[in-house]
Amino acid sequence: MDRSIYSERRNRLRELLRDIRTEAGLRQVDLAQRLDQPQSFVSKYEAGERRLDIVELEQVCIACGVSLASFVSRFEP
């Protein structure tokens, strides 16, 4: 198991997180406001400097207008 934060699957996760934000028409700062977090929160998980737990991931999905289930189905190969 590759524990690197830059593994292919982690890169895919980061790309998908960025995709759902941009598809929702949100800038990092807009999403951060919806999450009641600083903009650096969004920047760090999109850059791979921070990991999200499942509850945080669900909150990001909701703020972007997608369900956690649809996010996971897009992530799965």
pLDDT, tens only, 4-16: 656 899 999 999 9
Which H or E element spans position 6? none
Digit-coded pLDDT (tens) for 24-54: 999 999 999 999 999 999 999 999 999 999 9
- Please name the amino acid found at residue 20: I
Model pTM above 0.75: yes
pLDDT of residue 5: 58
What count of Cα atoms within 13 Å lies in the side-chain half-sphere of residue 53? 1
- The whole-number pLDDT of residue 2 equals 55
Cα 8 from Cα 58, distance rounded (Å): 22
Question: Tokens for 30?
Answer: 């807009």
